[in-house]
Structure 1
Amino acid sequence: MKITSVLAAATLAMASTTFGQSTCNEWAPCYREGYCNTDAAFCLWGLCDESKSYNSTSCWKPEGCVSKVVNFDSSSDIVPIGSYAGNPDTNAFLSIFEPDNTQVSNSNLELRMTYDASANKGFGATAKSSHTIQYGRVTARVKTASLAKGVVTSFIIINEQTGDEIDFEWVGLNPDQVQTNYYYKGVLDYTKMLPANVGSDSSAAYHDYTIDWSEDKIVWLVDNKPIRTLNRADTYDASTGVYAYPTTEGRIALSIWDGGNSGQQGTQEWSGYPTPWSADTVYKAYFDTVTVECAGGSTPSSSDDSGSEEPSQTGKDEESSGSDGGSHEPTGAPENPKCIPRPLV
């Protein structure tokens, strides 16, 4: 299962189009899903549509991979996407939705899901990495929120434009299991999902979950023990002559969302339903650390190290904005957009 967002049009500048080309202006240069704006929710690589933006340099460049350990010991390790100034070395993760259900607490990233009475379902949270990655090893130390039917916790690598995705997901219906899956170019083939036993209730204790992604294979590991291997050679489709294997640069995404009250039958049966709710119920997922080891990169350094310069992944350009983000935010920009989570099935 996947999470994406829909945009609240009230805060955006509508893009007029001619023959499919945007007329976004210099004050709101970045095009996304029919609207123009100036902040990271529109200009961030992977979200911004370069072909319909003001010009070829409007969308921000991909940030590339940096080997590091994010310890979540500083509130600056995550910021709302609308206030992100474009410096991935300052803010490791971006909170995607409003209201913001993320916080750094006791050296953990806490993702919360609360009850939305108007929708009769939970409103969760998603944190996406500011740096991108194309091949490498990512480990998240997680205590999931999946202690009740319908509550879904996820740790994935995703490219929203191409639809390539590599998943770890936990559902409250089976809290002692973790489920692995992958998608190629957005084809939602759920038959490739495979469950594996964690060894205990995933919501009761921390475990290390690793995605080891190379050009030739993907290995999923729990507590450094392989639970699944996908070889690229085994994804070849003779009818199309294509390897249905994720290859495109993406971002790390950490999420909690309500599958049980999603209104989608397949999602509800998969996650368990209905999700138990009362007015004061809060489900919480905890991420202790996220360790990124880029393909061919250096040994990861801690996020609290200062003064060190991290090498970027080969062939990727680094953003070079000032601390005020002025290179990305023209004067007179529209207000920040609001987003809400929506599960896709």
Structure 2
Amino acid sequence: MVKLNSKTLLSAALVAQSVVGEACNPMTSTNCPADTALSGSFSEDFHTESKWFKSIGNPGNITYGSDGLTLTLEKRLDNPSLHSTFYIMYGKVEAIAQAAPGQGMISSVFLQSDDLDEIDIEWTGGDTTQVQSNYFSKGQTTTYDRGEFHPVDSPQTTYHNYTVDWTKDAVTWYIDGVSVRVLPSDAPEGFPESPMALNIGIWAGGDSGNAPGTIEWAGGLTDYSQAPFSMGVKQIIVTDYSSGSEYTYGDQSGSADSIKAKDGSVNGRYDQAQVEFAALVDGQSVSEPSVSANQSSTISAVSSTVSVASSTSSVVVSSSSATNTTSTSTSTSSKKTSTSTSTTKTAAPTTTTTSSAKPTTTSKSSTKPTTTEAPKPSTTSTAPSSSTLVTKEHVSSTASSSATVQIAQSNGASKSFASWTMLFTLIISLF
């Protein structure tokens, strides 16, 4: 079991600023592009490349197959990750997931807004008995006492059902259908209340280039000789409690009251979403939303070149932009039991793959999550915000890479200067 303290998280806070949200933060800019709204529900089994998610250009191996999504870190500096092509404004997310093993490895499924509201589910590869829940409001990272630990059996070798239900009144985390934590909207340290995108990723928090606090939080140094390290996701079910084609910020407060839903309403499809989500959990079909992800904020927020301030060096993160357009189709919750080797990703389909079986988990489904509270979790300080970890990706490794380039450039400049000095000295000696 990983034991953490406030000192650990204080150090982790110095790692970096967020890539998602820093491209255009509505609290600091008045001309940010709109966020593409999901305004519906879907189930994704990741048999083939998903139209609902795009790789944000990080290195690493992402595969799709009959066993679902596999994100694999094969070597240092890898941090494969997916970013959704949509946003939700309140909603529910269910992930049938298995964390990556390995000391220092971090697996995560989290929601994050452009103004750095955040709801997290995270696993450390060396902790075989717990999962972490966390949240942040407006990127406020002056304290790191929001996280909690929750018991779970063998998360690195067993698929479990992890669910987040985000309403205007509370955020509730479930594990295998059992409520393990409830965050009320009047929480003293803030509450997530702006449109959020969904992210899935794996990175080496224990990389030697990271800050000592980050390495401690991750459970120790990562041993790359034990690679590859893989995280698996058999299924994702998502529903949006709001309706409309896109979400915008009416002012720079970032408050829920400032959020506008074009051609719809905030929280306007809550009842319908409950019906759709339950149907998808039961393996039934629902009408999929039509999402045109050519809105620049959805993908370009992570595709734009941004400067990232790190505790070790200045990092510039850049990746190519991407667009994706989908059409209305039917989604069926893929409740599969088969397991087989994943295949390399293929072209994204125009409709989702359907299946008739439910993913096997060791515990009950969250079709109707119980409200019985699990044993009181530990409130030991936990993970830093993705606002400080570049959306849970490998910042310091990137920093190390950038620093290497900078050093190489400096060395080149020094060598060039030395050569000119020698030439100048030779010319002087001739006279």
Give 2:429's aligned residue.
none
1:128-160 deviations in Å (ceiling 9; x for gaps): 111211111100000110x2210000111111x
Residue 310 of structure 1 is matched in structure 2 by 288
Structure 2 residue 230 is the aligned partner of structure 1 residue 284: yes
Pick aligned residue for 2:57 from 90, 97, 103: 97
Q: Distance in 2 between matches of 1:221 and 1:72?
A: 22
1:294-327 CA-partner distances (Å, limit 9, x unpaired): 221441477xx9x975357xxxxx5386xxx9xx
Q: Which amino acid aligns with 2:112?
A: I
Kindly indicate whether the alpha-carbon contact (under 8 Å) linking 2:58 and 2:79 is maintained by their aligned counterparts in 1: no
Do residues 217 (structure 1) and 170 (structure 2) align? yes
Shift, 1:97, TM fit = 2.5
- Could you say which residue in structure 2 is the equivalent of 1:128? 83
Which residue pairs with 1:69 in the alignment? 43
Q: State the partner residue of 2:292.
A: 319
Amino acid aligned to 1:99: P
For the residues of structure 2 that align with 1:102 and 1:144, how far apart are their CA atoms?
A: 15
Tell me the TM-score normalised to structure 1 length: 0.65
Residues in 1 aligned to 2:87 and 2:80: alpha-carbon distance in whole angstroms: 20
Q: Is the 8 A contact 2:82 2:199 kept in 1?
A: yes
Q: Within 2, Cα distance between the matches of 1:135 and 1:282?
A: 36
Whether the 8 Å contact between 1:184 and 1:246 is mirrored in structure 2 is yes
Q: Deviations over 1:51-102 (max 9, x none)?
A: 999x96x946423332111111223x1xxxxxxxxxxxxx111111243521
The one-letter code sitting in structure 1 at the alignment partner of 2:104 is G
2:150 paired with 1:196:
yes
**d(CA) in 2 for partners of 1:274 and 1:203?**
18
The change in CA–CA distance for 1:49 and 1:274 in structure 2 (over 3 A counts) is: closer
Larger Rg: 2
Larger helix proportion of the pair? 2
Residue 149 of structure 1 corresponds to 103
Contact preservation (8 Å) 2:73, 2:202: yes
User: Aligned partner of 1:224: which letter?
Assistant: G
- Identity among equivalent positions (%) equals 25
Distance in 1, matches of 2:27 and 2:136, equals: 25
Query: Which of the residues 70, 79, 96 maps onto 1:110?
Result: 70
| Equivalent residue, structure 1, for 2:405 | none
In 2, the alpha carbon distance for the partners of 1:51 and 1:181 equals 22
TM-superposed CA distance for 1:46, in Å, is 8.3
The change in CA–CA distance for 1:47 and 1:69 in structure 2 (over 3 A counts) is farther
Question: Are residue 264 (structure 1) and residue 237 (structure 2) matched?
Answer: no
Query: After the TM superposition, which residues 1-16 of structure 1 pair with which residues of structure 2 at under 5 Å, given as runs?
Result: none
Structure 1 68/176 Cα, relative in aligned 2: closer, same or farther at 3 Å? Answer: same
| TM-score of the superposed pair, with normalisation by structure 2 | 0.53
Correspondence list, 1:40-59, <5 A: 47-48=23-24, 59=33
More strand by share: 1
Secondary structure of the 2:217 match is helix
Match of 2:108, as an amino acid?
Answer: S
Q: Distance in 2 between matches of 1:219 and 1:286?
A: 23
The reply to whether residue 174 of structure 1 matches residue 120 of structure 2 is no
1:236 pairs with 2:196? no
Partner of 1:140: helix, strand, or coil? strand
Decide which of 186, 189, 193 is 2:139's aligned counterpart: 186
Hey, what's the Cα distance between the residues in 1 that align with 2:293 and 2:203? 34
308 and 174 in structure 1: CA distance in 2 versus 1, 3 angstrom threshold: closer
Cα pair distance change 1:167/1:6, threshold 3 Å: closer
Letter in 1 for 2:63: Q
Secondary structure of 1:142's counterpart equals: strand
Aligned length: 259
Q: How far apart are the structure 2 equivalents of 1:338 and 1:102?
A: 16
Structure 1 residue corresponding to 2:240, chosen from 276, 294, 298: 294
Q: 1:342 to 1:151 in 2, by over 3 A?
A: closer
Matches of 2:17 and 2:74, distance apart in 1: 17
Assess if the C-alpha contact under 8 Å between 2:35 and 2:87 holds in 1: no
- The 1:155–1:6 alpha-carbon spacing in structure 2 relative to 1, beyond 3 Å, is closer
SS in structure 1 at match of 2:59: coil
* Matched-pair contact (CA < 8 Å) for 1:49–1:59: no
Q: Is the 8 A contact 2:46 2:69 kept in 1?
A: yes
In structure 2, what is the Cα distance between the partners aligned to 1:98 and 1:190?
A: 27
Q: 1:94 to 1:266 in 2, by over 3 A?
A: same
Distance, in Å, in 1 between the alignment partners of 2:293 and 2:79 is 32
Which string of whole-angstrom CA distances, capped at 9 and with x for unpartnered residues, describes residues 15-58 of structure 1?
Answer: xxxxxxxxxxxxxxxxxxxxxxxxxx9xxx984578999x96x9
Contact 2:60–2:74, Cα closer than 8 Å, also in 1: no
Deviation at 1:264, TM superposition (A): 1.2
Relative distance call for 1:6 and 1:311 in structure 2 (3 A) is closer
